[in-house]
Amino acid sequence: MVYSDNNEKNQKYDAISGERLIPESELKDAVREVLAEMLGFQQGAQTQGNRQWYDTDPAYQLLDLDNAEQLRDAVRSGLLRVGHEVRDRRKPSARLPRYQFHIDKCLQRLAEKPEKRWKK
């Protein structure tokens, strides 16, 4: 490493190319992103923390469905049940439901054998 006296004494430069090295914080962020991608974590998972309930649009993507309508159809058919895997967060005066989905519970329900799902 060569330290330049021109602008700031503590800026680090690459001795071969003369370019400034990547700051440590950027390097850590880059490594975290690569590791998260390799391990299959979702982008932005750190900011969401232990979030469990998701609106329809992000939920269908997390459940690896083709579109949000497939998720709504699963609720209408009774495959995913309001009060168990789904909650209705609509305002009291609203006619249309605003569903939220518990991803872990939905995955468990979808993984069950069909004959077990429909037993009461």
pTM: predicted TM-score of the whole model, two decimal places = 0.56
pLDDT tens for 73-100 read 999 999 999 999 999 999 999 999 899 9
What number is the average pLDDT over the span 111-115?
86
Q: How far is CA 44 from CA 10, 17, 66, in A?
A: 33, 34, 21
Q: In what order do the strands lie in the sheet with 99-102?
A: 53-55, 99-102, 86-88
Q: What is the C-alpha separation between 91 and 98, in angstroms, rounded?
A: 8
For 9-41, the pLDDT digits (tens) are: 445 555 566 566 778 778 788 888 877 777 666
Q: What CA–CA distance (Å, rounded) separates 42 from 39?
A: 9
Residue 9 to residue 25: CA distance in whole angstroms:
19
